[in-house]
Amino acid sequence: MAGATPKLIKELREMTGAGMLDCKNALNECEGDLEKAVQHLREAGLGKAAKKAGNVAAEGLISILINDNFTKATMTEINSQTDFVAKNENFINLTKDITAHVQSTGVSETEELKQTTINGQVFEEFLNEKIATIGENIVARKMVTLATDSGVVNGYVHATGRVGVLLAATCDAAAKEKAAALLKNIAMHASAMKPTVISYNDLDPEFVESETRAIKAEIEAENDELKRLGKPLKNIPEFVSKSQLTQEALANAKAAFEAELKEQGKPEQIWDKIVPGKMERFIQDNTQLDGRLALLSQNFVMDDKKTVEQVLAETDPSIKIVEYVRFELGEGIEKKEEDFAAEVAKQMGN
């Protein structure tokens, strides 16, 4: 793979905010691999987390359909070429029709959908007629259906139609109504906070180790600036996820706090009033990755003094989230490769 090119350097700078020379060096070090270069810069404390290079905006709508008893939920992403068409009433109605059809047929892939029959027509022919009427290419790109016999499902689509979330949970029969209402609010939370997994237990161990280095580097870089401004420095954590906090790690932390209190001459009989607070802060400092990416560990947007997990337990301990899907419009669509010089010339009419 090639190293740093002007186009890749420009793209990496936009993604990370790092300097040109740092971007060039990172790309050469990573043989032109953009994703690896982003991580390389983060671990060096030179760049912040960024979207993958292929995740670009696309037009269209995300739509959901929940059945009346909250046992089946479907979400689709239907793409159009322009935002103008995405706001067109005919296109909006089409997305609703396709979502209902996906739910009734149970399909989960575009190619599978094309072979189904809708309103007496093969779906591909039906869609081609709509394309001819609306005047733009339309693609039913992503679709998912969650169903349950022993719990509830619910979801949320942001008003713009650009982000949607579905959730499924198990629960006692008596808790279904409460669970359905809460899942909608948690789906709203997830649409904004962008968790990638339900629990910290779902994070890949290699990814956690990689992020440990990156998060430490980010905080060290922040501390350099805080030191320059004469402000208090942030604690640099040893860990970033509860998955790393073994019983041994917690015991070592507790022993260190007790040794510190002993050194300060604090009476041993009051340690049990001080150590729990220090341990709580230690866990907060050492689980930052969970708060970024694990839904249950995030502070709930509607009550940020509690985590999503705490809100679930307080609503009804039987409610357990078992499935989570989030669609963001255009996510994962390949970028169109362009010759920037040719594009500028074209815009200038040459």
How does pLDDT run across 126-141, given as a tens digit for each residue? 998 998 888 888 999 9
User: Domain check: are 42 and 162 in the same one?
Assistant: no
d(CA 197, CA 297): 10
Closest listed residue to residue 220, CA positions, set 43, 16, 20, 37? 43
- Assess if residue 282 is contained within a domain: no
User: Domain check: are 42 and 139 in the same one?
Assistant: no
Q: Which domain holds residue 40?
A: 6-53
User: Domain check: are 12 and 129 in the same one?
Assistant: no
Give the pLDDT confidence score for residue 2 in this predicted structure: 67
209 band by pLDDT with thresholds 50, 70 and 90: very high
Burial class (CB in 10 A: 0-12, 13-18, 19+), 347: exposed
User: Domain check: are 83 and 143 in the same one?
Assistant: yes
- Assess if residue 150 is contained within a domain: yes
Give the pLDDT confidence score for residue 48 in this predicted structure: 54
- Assess if residue 145 is contained within a domain: yes
The arithmetic mean of pLDDT across residues 34-42, rounded, is: 85
User: Domain check: are 142 and 164 in the same one?
Assistant: yes
Residue 211 has pLDDT above 90, yes or no: yes
User: Domain check: are 85 and 156 in the same one?
Assistant: yes
User: Domain check: are 31 and 123 in the same one?
Assistant: no
Angle at 165 between CA 160 and CA 167, to 5 degrees: 155
Residue 36 tokens read as 């690896």
User: Domain check: are 45 and 66 in the same one?
Assistant: no
211-216 long-range contacts (CB < 8 A, ≥24 apart) are: 211/240, 211/241, 211/289, 212/239, 212/240, 212/241, 212/244, 212/289, 213/43, 214/39, 214/42, 214/43, 214/49, 215/240, 215/288, 215/289
User: Domain check: are 49 and 72 in the same one?
Assistant: no
The arithmetic mean of pLDDT across residues 151-177, rounded, is: 97
Phi, psi of 116 (to 5 degrees): -80, 170
Give the pLDDT confidence score for residue 338 in this predicted structure: 46
User: Domain check: are 72 and 93 in the same one?
Assistant: yes
Percent of the chain at pLDDT above 70? 91
The arithmetic mean of pLDDT across residues 62-82, rounded, is: 96
Give the pLDDT confidence score for residue 228 in this predicted structure: 93
Q: What is the CATH number of the domain that holds 85?
A: 3.30.479.20
Give the pLDDT confidence score for residue 305 in this predicted structure: 93
User: Domain check: are 46 and 65 in the same one?
Assistant: no
- Assess if residue 317 is contained within a domain: no
Residue 53 has pLDDT above 90, yes or no: no
Give the pLDDT confidence score for residue 56 in this predicted structure: 36
Round the average pLDDT of the chain to a whole number and report it.
Answer: 89
The 10s digit of each residue's pLDDT in 263-314 is 999 999 999 999 999 999 999 999 999 999 999 999 999 999 999 999 999 9
User: Domain check: are 40 and 118 in the same one?
Assistant: no
Could you say which of 176, 193, 210 is where a domain stops?
Answer: 193
Pick from 34-38, 54-58, 91-95 the range whose average pLDDT is largest. 91-95
- Assess if residue 278 is contained within a domain: no
The number of domains in the chain is 2
- Assess if residue 154 is contained within a domain: yes
